[in-house]
Structure 1
Amino acid sequence: MIIMNETLKTIHNLRSIRSFSDRDISPDILESIIDASLRAASSSARQPYSIIVIEDHDLLTKFFYGGNKALVYCIDLNRIAAFAKYVGKDWYAGDIVDFVTCSTDTVLAAQTAVLAGKSLGVDSLITNVLHRTGLEKVYEILNLPDHNVFPLITLSFGYAKSEPPFQKGRARTGIVHYGRYQEMTPEEIKGQVDFYSRDENHMMLFVSEEKLHEKGFKNYFEWFFTEWWDGKSSFNQDFYSILTKMGFLKNNH
């Protein structure tokens, strides 16, 4: 039996919103969301992130799906480096291990903000839109330092213009493992492909069963790996270039 309380109801009612109304988020609500976000778990209590609050209407319209407010969560070791310098210690920006640890802490803070917002009636969208914008441009717009900082994830906040017709589905088979990892059987793989490919489960991105058939695809994943995720993202090189510049892809050991 699945237990349900008010906190769990908030979690189960989460949904991504891409069309926001003009209703303002009050300063008290915004600060409450940010304050809750700062309570997220953090490795060694470093809080290795910065939160850029976006309230400019033009920026919100152009880059943040028209949300009423946006929070850009950046991995930020610039502050930690300043502490090290203050006490006379040499310290480097980090490496891929630091990047993974800092990413985890940053995403935990962001997800906590989403939950806090929803508990206060505020909807949101989690997006990597800035990675598709051109990272050099993002650094200029947000006045980010040219070292130790990386814009990881963005939250657009606001009130939904209208209620979505459905909530996206979620899979469980092949995801939850008890005791140890277990590969899916051929039957389970087929079952999950079929599960994703049915409209009623609301798992597909931007296509429907009808569209799949019109395009000649037998199932959703055939379309997904052909038209959506071909492994040749145009921003990959930009991404790696910036991470190298920030020091996260250097081997310091």
Structure 2
Amino acid sequence: MINTLNITVEKNEKRSFLRDVYVTQPFRVIPVGQHKPDDHAYLMIMSSSPGILSGDEHELSIRVKENARLQLQSQSYQRLYNMEASARQQMEVIMEKGSSFFYVPHPIVPHKNSTFISRSRIHMAEHCELLMSEIITCGRKHHGEVFEFTKFHNLFEVFHNDRLVLKDNILLQPKENPLQAMGLLENFTHQGTLIYSATTDALPVPELVDKINELLEREEDILGGVSQLHHKGFVVRVLGHGGEQLFTLFQNIQELLWNIPN
């Protein structure tokens, strides 16, 4: 089943707002920033489905127009159910000049025998700011399912003026490559990746990296680090034992970066 979500966010003289939206079942988009003190757009993607099923194909298209700022949120943990075949997701984000797009979704819970293939392509113009994250759990740990999914593959690409500047490729196949082996996740059960990329020269990247390292040092029972990119930005990698801890950490990082003076 093909499920479609198209969002366009624009900025007028006063604020960023949802200009256009088109969704098919099970998606729904609602505004959630009514009580925010700023003039940016805050939207939540909701779903009437309990999770992603075998044969599902999600097609997400997001356009953030010139000088608009969008912070997108998810409704709840994303469950990947037991599958006979596979499920796929395609996400494309178009960022016009001076725009910002931040998306820190809830953790993904891949159930036993699930196969999920995802690809995200982000196109950035000048003076843009991007933050996206992903947290992958081991599965339904409290039901005895630890790395019993079949395959999880996510390809993430960022383009600046049609030139590829960042590529992150995660492929997990625990039945072929045990993830708790030495040199992989070892005793950790959850992993998270947060990517921050900007196309402006004014960004104080070293100072931001120091602040994020301070946030990482405050956390207990995790292993994490920050890698600065060759262009303006960095990647945060974290290993842990619980999805909620990593999700809260990434929300705190998002809050820090969202409030950088433009």
Q: TM-score, normalised by structure 2?
A: 0.28
TM-score w.r.t. length of structure 1: 0.29
> Would you tell me which structure has more helix in proportion to its own residues?
1
Q: Which has the higher strand share?
A: 2
Larger RCO: 1 or 2 (CA < 8 Å, sep 6+): 1
